[in-house]
């Protein structure tokens, strides 16, 4: 007997028991559900929520694989084992097995903890509440390892996942009812609970702690002092990476956030499959450009001069804000979350524009953590229902005016 037959038998055996949701979830994750409707259907489609979630995961896989190579590359670059990439995206210095394996063994535990803890809580709530296991965490489980620092302790990640799933989703009623993006709720918890681990002011290097001790003991070793781009700019330092490096992703940062090229390709894939909203993506970019231009004009007018507290990020060309930090990744994979984003077309334009605008505003003025997209998306998650409310009310008023005009 095949796996599908065995799962069908287990479903029948445990039907009506507390463990039924677990077997149903495993079956529908691997195969098309056996259930068929006995009444008329309003919508006929070949996909379901699990397939939609899996499509989003597929869009993130290139970012994940690239992040594994980049983690190893940044490590070897800092310790002097490789030279900086000079021959483009297909550079032989970057795509090496050594780079991949260093990143692989560091990132895989993050993925295991994220999915293990998150799905475990989902199963527990499904059994307690006697409903089907919800599929929303399939994407969240992949997002979390891609947006946290690679060297974050696993126990911190586990605690944050517990908080994010329970407080960020389950207390609202589960998938489809939450008002905050669960992945960003997890990152926000880490940001406020363990700020020193989320600062992002140093490049992760395997064994850096031991190397620092060796240096202190007088060993002839170079110190590990590489900084992320946003960290350098926030301190008023000059850019040390080329535009090509920033766009392609040969820069330090969270696992999935460095390669703008792959993020754009993932965004186009989500737009093509009609899962991601192009309106939110485009308006977020326009909002970021608008805020960046305002800051550039302030610097050009001499209001903020070199050496001032916020000069570094204010003077950064507006378009560079789009390819550094987590802006691109947040815009494509988290701002477009269909549950927490605005639902109306006009609302999506407003929602996205404000995310981009506020992201750069927070990035420049946040003294503790030079990034803004996480807090901007969470803030707009809260206001998304209000935006839709006023958009709908505006449409209702317009229709009432047209109706009165016709009656008159």
Cα-Cα-Cα-Cα dihedral of 189, 193, 198, 204, to 10°? -110
Where do the structural domains in the chain lie, given as residue ranges? 49-204+226-396
Q: Which of 25-39, 255-269, 367-381 has the lowest mean pLDDT?
A: 25-39
HEC profile for the chain? CCHHHHHHHHHHHCCCCCCHHHHHHHHHHHCCCCCCCCCCCCCCCCCCHHHHHHHHHHHHHHHHHHHHHHHHHHHHHHHCCCCCCCCCCCCCCCCCHHHHHHHHHHHHHHHHHHHHHHHHHHHHHHHHHCCCCCCCHHHHHHHHHHHCCCCCCHHHHHHHHHHHHHHHCHHHCCCCCCCCCHHHHHHHHHHHHCHHHCCCCCCCCCCHHHHHHHHHCCCCCCCCCCCCHHHHHHCCCCCCCCHHHHHHCCCCCCCCCCCHHHHHHHHHHHHHCCCCCHHHHHHHHHHHHHHHHHHHHHHHCCCCCCCCCCHHHHCCCHHHHHCCCCHHHHHHHCCCCCCCCCCCHHHHHHHHHHHHHHHHHHHHHCCCCCCCHHHHHHHHHHHHHHHHHHHHHHHHHHHHHHHHHHHC
Q: For residue 212, is pLDDT > 70?
A: no
Question: Which whole number is the average pLDDT over 267-272?
Answer: 96
The tokens 């958009």 sit on which residue?
A: 391
CB crowding 37-68: b at 16 or more within 10 Å, else e: eeeeeeeeeeeeebebbbbbeebbebbbebbb
For the cut 60, the answer to whether the pLDDT of residue 204 exceeds it is: yes
If you average pLDDT over residues 19-26, what whole number do you get? Answer: 64
| Six token digits for residue 257 | 């956030």
Q: What pLDDT is recorded for position 401?
A: 87
Mean pLDDT, all residues of the chain: 83
pLDDT at residue 313 in the model: 87
Q: Which of 56-65, 74-83, 161-170 is least confident?
A: 74-83
End-to-end CA distance of the chain: 73
- What pLDDT is attached to residue 225? 43
User: Is residue 99 predicted with pLDDT exceeding 70?
Assistant: yes
Nearest to residue 169, comparing CAs of 193, 136, 144, 194?
136
Q: What is the pLDDT of residue 216?
A: 44
Q: What is the pLDDT of residue 144?
A: 94
More confident residue, 177 or 347: 347
Over range 116-129, report the average pLDDT: 84
What pLDDT, in 10s, does the model give residues 245-254? 999 999 888 8
CB neighbourhood size of 108 (10 A)? 12
Pull the structure tokens for residue 41.
Answer: 């259907």
- The reported pTM is 0.86
pLDDT tens column, 326-377: 999 999 999 999 889 999 999 999 999 999 999 999 999 886 676 889 899 9
- CA distances to 36, 111, 148, 206 from 66, in Å: 41, 15, 15, 18
Q: Six-digit token pair at 173? A: 């009623």
Q: What is the mean pLDDT of residues 43-53?
A: 66
140, 53 contact by CB (below 8 A): no
pLDDT (average), residues 256-276: 94
How far is the C-alpha of 360 from the C-alpha of 363, rounded, in Å?
A: 5
Predicted confidence at residue 85, as pLDDT, reads 81
Burial of residue 368 (CB within 10 Å: 0-12, 13-18, 19+) is exposed
The torsion of the CA quartet 339, 276, 295, 317, rounded to 10 degrees, works out to 150
């Amino acid at each position: 007997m095949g796996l599908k037959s065995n799962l069908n038998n287990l479903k029948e055996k445990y039907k009506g028991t507390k463990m039924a949701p677990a077997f149903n979830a495993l079956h529908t994750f691997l195969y098309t559900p056996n259930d068929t409707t006995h009444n008329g259907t309003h919508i006929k489609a070949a996909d379901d929520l699990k397939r939609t979630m899996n499509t989003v995961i597929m869009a993130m896989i290139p970012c994940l694989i690239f992040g594994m190579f980049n983690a190893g590359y940044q490590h070897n670059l800092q310790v002097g084992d490789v030279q900086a990439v000079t021959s483009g995206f297909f550079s032989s210095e970057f795509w090496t097995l050594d780079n991949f394996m260093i990143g692989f063994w560091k990132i895989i535990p993050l993925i295991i903890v994220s999915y293990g803890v998150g799905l475990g809580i989902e199963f527990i709530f499904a059994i307690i509440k006697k409903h089907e296991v919800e599929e929303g965490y399939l994407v969240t489980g992949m997002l979390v390892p891609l947006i946290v620092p690679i060297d974050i302790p696993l126990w911190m990640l586990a605690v944050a996942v517990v908080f994010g799933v329970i407080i960020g989703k389950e207390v609202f009623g589960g998938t489809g009812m939450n008002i905050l993006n669960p992945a960003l709720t997890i990152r926000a918890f880490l940001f406020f609970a363990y700020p020193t681990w989320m600062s992002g002011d140093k490049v992760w290097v395997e064994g850096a702690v031991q190397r620092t001790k060796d240096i202190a003991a007088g060993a002839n070793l170079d110190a590990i002092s590489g900084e992320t781009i946003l960290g350098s700019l926030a301190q008023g330092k000059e850019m040390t990476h080329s535009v090509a490096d920033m766009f392609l992703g040969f820069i330090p940062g969270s696992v999935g956030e460095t390669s703008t090229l792959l993020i754009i390709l993932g965004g186009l894939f989500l737009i093509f499959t009609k899962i991601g909203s192009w309106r939110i993506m485009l308006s977020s970019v326009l909002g970021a450009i608008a805020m960046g231009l305002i800051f550039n004009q302030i610097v050009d007018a001499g209001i903020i001069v070199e050496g001032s507290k916020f000069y570094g990020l204010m003077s950064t060309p507006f378009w560079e804000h789009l390819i550094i930090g987590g802006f691109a990744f947040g815009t494509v994979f988290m701002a477009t979350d269909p549950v927490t984003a605005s639902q109306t077309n006009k609302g999506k334009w407003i929602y996205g524009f404000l995310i981009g605008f506020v992201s750069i505003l927070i990035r420049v003025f946040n003294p503790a953590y030079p990034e803004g997209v996480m807090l901007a998306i969470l803030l707009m998650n809260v206001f998304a229902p209000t935006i839709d409310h006023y958009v709908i009310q505006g449409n209702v008023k317009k229709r009432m005016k047209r109706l009165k005009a016709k009656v008159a």
